[in-house]
Each structure stands twice: as structure tokens, then as C-alpha cells.
Structure 1
């Protein structure tokens, strides 16, 4: 296939609630939607899920936009490629979220062109037709957390991730576990615990968590190795694992038992697939996270979560939980906590360009001359 034109939509989507973690507070979600068009008029869409500030990784949305316009997109315009993964042969993944957004658009286009689903062109294996959703809750007070968990249990959800920080995280988790002894529960510390707070961190062992995600402020693998040796709760790494090399090193050092895989963070579906292969080879559990993203990117995670050996339900819940109007049709919905994996070509959903344009704050066309 040959890519003739790419359109960039810098969008700003208002959130239905203020999302808080130990690192940030968000009331809107800005991302970049990439629309790729080939010589036959086929179209594919991807999303760049970097944030405006470098609280999650060093890559910001400004950096993503610049490298897309000046390097990554010029590298693919009018270039013949047999498979979209060939983009990784000539693109340095120094900005993985930008590269992932472009690769995702090319994979969606390629799959639609081949009249296949995303999973058919990325994985050649049987997948589930539906997945359990999972609820990620921000840094809320205990009463609000218990209220939210009660609400989502009534809607069929069984797995909950709680954002925590050293000041009150342990007390929140204890209160939740006392109230809900049987739910699947995990904690995400977003690198908020310093070395002097490790004794407090170890007390989490009493709460029977599925895992604790990114607890240490330092992000140091040797510190994680020591901590995992002293804790029975599995350590899950997220933003510490950005490359295949990171994961391979972490496995060799035995610093983790679980890894959270997010397409944008790791540089695209190609790298996500290779990480999953490495996890399978080394008996490391993996599960599919999410990036507070629109349905264009979140649907990729729905597809990945349909793999039969994922560890736990991902951070995947209905579009309406986050946005008044998402960018896909149909939007992501859940019945009794279960999300149906779409069967159509590419992402399996249609893209609502009118809504994209409503949210657009900047627009750029590259190619097509």
C-alpha cells in the first residue's frame, strides 16, 4: 500500500468528571487523531495519547506533534510498504506515543484494505468474543470510592483499580477491602512511594491485592527487585517498561511478576505483540491497560484484551463514563460488566469525523498534493 495523505486533528475532549492521581489532575483530555489515506482511498485512524505535561512519561503532546509533522509522517508519505509494521524499520521509537499513533492508523487502514480485523493482522490466534471491563478510580476520598464501587458492582463489574499515594493509600485500601472482601482489587501508586516509605508499602500484603502498580518513586530496577523479594503482592510495572529492552532487563533481574501493556506507551501494536511474546516465554503475567483516551485508541486495547491469556480485566469501561460523546460509532458499552469485541474490519467501528471536528483545536494536512 502507499500512503498519499495524512491528516492530524489536535482535539480537546471535556471529561465528565475531574480525574485525579498522585501526579496530576485532568478536566479535559487533549490528544491527536491521525487519519491516514492510501492510494485507493482506504482510510485508517490512530490516536496519540501523550499528555500535555510529562507526568507519565517524558513525551508530551507538543513533542509528539512536532516529530509527527517533521519526521515520522514525511517518512511514510508516498512510500510503498507491504505491511504497516515496516514503519518500524525506518522510524526511531524515541517518541513512542507519536509512533504508535501513526502505526495504529496504518494498521487500521491495512486491516480495512485486507477486509480483516485488527487482531487478524496482528495476532494469528483464537481470541475471546467478549471481555470483562475493569474500573479505574482516581484519587478520591474513601466515601466516594466506596460509593463508586457499589455503583459499578451493581452494573456487573468485578475488578477495580484504585489510585493511591503514601499519605492515605493504605487506609483507603483497608477500608475498601473491609467493605468489599471479595472484589478483585489492585492499586496504582504512580511512583509515589519513596524509600523511607517502603515499610508502609509492605503492609499492603495483608490486603490480598492482585498486584500493586508502579509503587516506587525512584523507578530503580534494583530497588524493585529487593521490594519484590520482600513482598508477596505481585509488583506490576507500567511506565517503567517502555521498550522490549526494559522488559527483558526487568525479567532477568526478577523485578516484576506482572506487566501492564499500553499500546501508546510501548510504541505501537508491533512492540505490544513482541512484549506479549516475551511475557509468555518467561511466565510473566500481562494485562492491557488504558490511557484515559478516546474510543479510537481504547478500542485497540479492547481487541488486545481479547487474548485468552491476559491476567486480569483491563482498565476498560464504557465511553459514556468519560465523555458525553466519543469519537466512534457504536461507542464502547458494557452489559453486566462485559464488553463485546467488535467483529468488523480494522477497529471494527466507524469513526465519527463530525465529532472529531467539533473537538478540534488545530488541524494539519501532510501530503495529498
Structure 2
């Protein structure tokens, strides 16, 4: 049985975050992205979301390179091939090097369409079994430590299961030490976004005093070898993020001892199929995983929720509620967190409806590709 697609649509949206988000590589508040839409002949609609930023900070991909690759290479591949299952899409896209976020944006829409055609929730279509998932929150770099402490208090009161704090040289040990003093028992992790080198080893080893859940991607964005050297002298688990683009990267990191935890981001690894492969390998090896966020709007957030229902996602992810980031999201109901928990929707596909009024408000343009 095939997935008979009639057309694909690319919707270009821009939404404004409630507050500027600051990391070691930049600060931004406007988020532009694509919602991808796969439509079959019965009128079923599947939705995906691109996660690349406007500038090549996090990775080499950007919003506009995503458009180029989707429009000129990936959509033509989908037009030329019969697709029976979303798992095929990864192989069809393999001749196109990297550009994982562009690939994931299209593959996500096909997964959602497939699940709706099969009358399954996306979580069940992926093999997930959880009815609810634990979530944490990610906090960007703040102007002062008291500002940061106040923000953490707010999220701890709201019941988030762990707090992720962005760090960089000059905003690291002393900040985290002060945070730990105020929150001695709160699960806290630090995210460096590749801001350090092995020359900072002594400084990073200081973090072992603070009983952190993990330190995420302290060294270069494309490194696996130096992280192994660092992990060998630290008791704090290292989590790899930017370095992991595939199941092959994951296997190498495991074999080298580069980390103890993997952050799986759907966009970074090229889609849900590859994310599942990484999950399954980590489950086999007993390596903990969690689902990272890319400041997604509602569609991308829904995909993250579905993925997190797989068994080896044993650590709280970054999928906070819609209201933490947006005055108005593009789905209904919006994603709601209660006491650090999200109930997994059971409706077919991503489990949320598009809020057409909000969607149209944020949409700058739409392109149609007929099959």
C-alpha cells in the first residue's frame, strides 16, 4: 500500500518569541521557519516543521538553504518515487549530502500523513508506548545571576523536571555554583554549545563539584575524539548534541567513550527514522537519551512529544509548553505542561489541529508543488 501524495506545500512563517533567547553563539527573538504539508488524494494533511535558524550558528544550515534544498532537490525526489512507508524517505534522500534539517522537515510531514492514513497517533506509529512524558526547560543566558535565579524559581515552582542552563566562558562555574546553592536538589544540566576547548579542561573539571546531570556539548560542534579525552577525566556525564548527525556518529561516540548521554534532535539527525535508529542503538547499549528542542512552534513540538514516547527517552526533554515561548501558537490545543508532564495526544497523526487563524496570521507565503 502506497502513500499517494497529491501535492506538497511549503509555508514560510515568522513568529516572535516572548523573550530574546541568548546562547554562547548568539541572541535572537524572531524565528522564521517552514511548515511543510503533505496532502493525499483523500484530503488528509500531514505536517512537518523546519528547525534551522536564519543564520548558520547552530549548524551550517539556514532557513534559506533549507528552501533551496527542499525545493530544488528533495521535493523532486519525492515526486519521482512511490513511497509505501516513511522509513523509505531517509534512503531516498541519501544521495543528497547532509542538509539534515531540510530532510527532516519533509520527512516529518510524510510521517504525520502516514499516521493519519493508518488512523494511528504518531507516537504509536513510531512504536512509542508512553501516555505522558516528563519535560524540562531550557533557559538562555541572562543579564545577571539574580535574573537567572528568579527565572529558575519560576520554573521549579511550575514543576519542570529539570533545568537546562546555557553557559559560556565567563558565565559558567561561578554562575552554576550560585545556582546550586539556591537549588541544592534540583536536577540541573549545563549546555555549552561548543564554547570550550581542551585548554579549558581544568575549568570544566571544576563542574564536577556541582552534581550536574550532565554537561552538553562542551567542545567543538564536529568533535568526537576530544570529548572522549574530556569524559575520561570528568565524573559529570558528557552529553553530545551537535556532534551527532546519524546512527554512525552515535556508534563512534559510544565506541570511543565520548559521552554517556545522547541528545536526539529530529532535525539534526535528518528525521524521525534516523532518530529511531539512534534510540534503538542507545537502548541496546544502555545509553540514556533525551529529546532536545530547537525553539519549535507547535508542529515541531508535537513531533518531539511523539518521539519521546519511545522507551529509552529516560531523561526529561526540552519540549516545554507553547506558552513559554509564544503569545499564540499555531496548533490547538496548544501544548500544555502540568507539573513537568505533557499528556501524549491519542488522536491520529501529531494529535493536534492546525489553528488556521493563527497559522494564516504568521504565514508570509505558501508554495504549492503538485505531484
Q: Counterparts of 1:89 and 1:307 in 2: how far apart (Å)?
A: 22
Matched, 1:191 2:191: no
Equivalent residues of 2:193, 2:221 under 8 A apart:
no
- Name the residue aligned to 1:82: 84
- Name the residue aligned to 1:7: 9
- Name the residue aligned to 2:145: 142
Equivalent residues of 2:119, 2:348 under 8 A apart:
yes
Q: What is the CA RMSD across the aligned residues, in angstroms?
A: 1.4
- Name the residue aligned to 1:206: 209
Equivalent residues of 1:2, 1:79 under 8 A apart:
no
- Name the residue aligned to 2:46: 44
Q: Counterparts of 1:98 and 1:128 in 2: how far apart (Å)?
A: 28
Question: What TM-score comes out, normalization by structure 2 length?
Answer: 0.95
Deviation at 1:196, TM superposition (A): 2.0
Matched, 1:55 2:57: yes
Query: Which structure 1 residue ranges, 4+ long, deviate > 4 Å from structure 2?
Result: none
- Name the residue aligned to 2:20: 18
Deviation at 1:78, TM superposition (A): 6.8
Q: Counterparts of 2:88 and 2:230 in 1: how far apart (Å)?
A: 39
Matched, 1:115 2:119: yes
The counterpart of 2:356, out of the listed 348, 353, 357, is 353
5 Å matches for 1:64-75? 64-75=66-77
**Unaligned runs of at least 5 residues, structure 2:** none
Matched, 1:287 2:284: no
Q: Counterparts of 1:219 and 1:203 in 2: how far apart (Å)?
A: 24
Q: Counterparts of 2:299 and 2:323 in 1: how far apart (Å)?
A: 14
- Name the residue aligned to 1:131: 133
Equivalent residues of 2:123, 2:307 under 8 A apart:
yes
- Name the residue aligned to 1:97: 101
Q: Number of matched residues?
A: 366
Matched, 1:35 2:49: no
SS of the aligned residue for 1:105 comes to helix
- Name the residue aligned to 2:160: 157
Equivalent residues of 1:3, 1:80 under 8 A apart:
no
Question: What TM-score comes out, normalization by structure 1 length?
Answer: 0.96
- Name the residue aligned to 1:302: 305
Deviation at 1:219, TM superposition (A): 4.2
Deviation at 1:212, TM superposition (A): 0.3
SS of the aligned residue for 2:339 comes to coil
Deviation at 1:217, TM superposition (A): 3.3
SS of the aligned residue for 1:77 comes to helix
Q: Counterparts of 1:134 and 1:114 in 2: how far apart (Å)?
A: 31
Q: Counterparts of 1:320 and 1:19 in 2: how far apart (Å)?
A: 15
